[in-house]
Amino acid sequence: MICKKCGRKIYDKAVKCPHCGTPTENAQPKKPEKKESTVNGFAIAGSLLGIAGFIVSIAVISSSIVFIFLPILGIIFSTLGIVKAQTLKKGRKMAITGLVFSILGLVITAAVWIYVLIAAAVL
């Protein structure tokens, strides 16, 4: 191998030129810096769970108490998405959308279950 700076012949596996000290192609490459995540996964998850909880609460008319977990998870993930959006500067609107749909789904589910319980008590 020939040194790129001084032009002298050097050992093929040398990390730097012994004559001038210039690093060779064998020198350890710098580790690439870790890129910070630019995706707000909590906002995405909260939005999807919120919308799914809202749709299920309307479509199924909350026939099972199990469906109340979708809006609750939507509220949790959307809230985490809003908090994470403060550092990432991305996903805030999506997280707020998920929060709104989650709250609407929770209210609809709760209203249906209150109605069902009152109707059952009357009978």
HEC profile for the chain? CECCCCCCECCCCCCECCCCCCECCCCCCCCCCCCCCCCCHHHHHHHHHHHHHHHHHHHCCCCCHHHHHHHHHHHHHHHHHHHHHHHHCCCHHHHHHHHHHHHHHHHHHHHHHHHHHHHHHHC
Based on the fold, state whether residues 56 and 111 are members of the same structural domain.
yes
Structural domain range at position 51: 41-122
- What average pLDDT does range 70-81 have in this prediction? 92
Based on the fold, state whether residues 9 and 49 are members of the same structural domain.
no
pLDDT for the residue 114:
85
Asked if pLDDT for residue 95 goes beyond 90, the answer is yes
Based on the fold, state whether residues 55 and 83 are members of the same structural domain.
yes
Based on the fold, state whether residues 101 and 47 are members of the same structural domain.
yes
Based on the fold, state whether residues 61 and 102 are members of the same structural domain.
yes
Asked if pLDDT for residue 110 goes beyond 90, the answer is no
- What average pLDDT does range 22-27 have in this prediction? 82
| pTM recorded for the entire structure | 0.64
pLDDT for the residue 123:
67
